[in-house]
């Protein structure tokens, strides 16, 4: 067990999160590659709807993710920008990618200073949990959730592809959205054998931030689909 893996265990880290518009689910789960970076999708001329078309961090070869919970501030921003398509999901990814040698870490939003704070290795990982962060004017609260980085906008950048087997679940805002997503996918002939969780706090910037700072985990309810939980 390497140092990053040991610290993940000690902090109770259970997953990596990646948010995307739900219309991308069909592309992701209908392709054997799995989850790919913006650069790869462009090179392969594959259909995609990039969350961040600008990528001021300069690393469009990597997939933007976060630890344990979505980057709730940026998540809220991109949802507000798209007035036409309102449904988003959060993909849950197994945490083992955190100790992959190619993984990069940033203690704040990776676009800050055009990627100047991006690091690799154990020092990069530990920068996410430092008492202070370049992106916030206050220190890490004493009761802060151990698994969550100090700055809610801290990012993890993963090398692609991420195989479908590494995606452990999908979080949606409501049961109604879960039902919509299932119908959409069924109409396209796509079956997803992943558990779906109803996690409204993931989609509430203020609520999720307060929970994390108080050391409380967000509520996640397994979606029961006609007696099946999808897992």
The catalytic residues are 55, 155
Angle at 51 between CA 50 and CA 52, to 5 degrees: 90
Per-residue tokens: 194:
């992943």
20 labelled as ligand-binding? Answer: yes
203 labelled as ligand-binding? Answer: no
Using alpha carbons only, how large is the chain's radius of gyration in Å? 17
Contacts 24+ apart (CB under 8 A), 69-72: 69/17, 69/148, 69/152, 69/202, 69/208, 69/212, 69/218, 70/17, 70/19, 70/202, 70/208, 71/19, 71/109, 71/152, 71/153, 71/154, 71/155, 72/152, 72/202, 72/204, 72/205, 72/208, 72/209
35 labelled as ligand-binding? Answer: yes
19 labelled as ligand-binding? Answer: yes
14 labelled as ligand-binding? Answer: no
Annotated binding site: 18-20, 35, 55
Q: Which residues are annotated as a binding site for NAD(+)?
A: 18-20, 35, 55
């Amino acid at each position: 067990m390497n140092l990053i893996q040991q610290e993940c265990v000690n902090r109770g880290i259970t997953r990596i999160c990646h948010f995307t518009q739900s219309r991308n689910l069909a592309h992701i789960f209908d392709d054997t590659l799995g989850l790919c970076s913006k650069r790869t999708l462009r090179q392969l001329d594959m259909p995609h709807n990039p969350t961040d078309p600008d990528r001021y961090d300069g690393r469009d070869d990597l997939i933007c993710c976060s630890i344990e919970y979505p980057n709730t501030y940026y998540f809220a921003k991109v949802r507000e920008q798209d007035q036409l398509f309102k449904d988003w999901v959060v993909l849950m990814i197994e945490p083992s990618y955190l100790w992959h040698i190619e993984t990069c870490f940033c203690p704040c939003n990776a676009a800050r200073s055009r990627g100047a704070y991006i690091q690799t290795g154990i020092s990069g990982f530990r920068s996410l949990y430092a008492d202070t962060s370049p992106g916030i004017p206050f220190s890490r609260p004493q009761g802060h959730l151990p698994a969550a980085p100090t700055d809610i906008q801290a990012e993890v950048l993963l090398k692609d592809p991420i195989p479908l087997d590494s995606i452990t679940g999908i979080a949606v805002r409501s049961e109604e959205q879960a039902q919509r997503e299932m119908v959409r996918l069924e109409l396209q002939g796509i079956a997803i054998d992943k558990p779906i969780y109803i996690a409204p706090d993931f989609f509430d910037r203020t609520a999720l931030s307060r929970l994390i700072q108080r050391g409380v985990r967000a509520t996640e309810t397994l979606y029961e689909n006609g007696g099946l939980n999808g897992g």
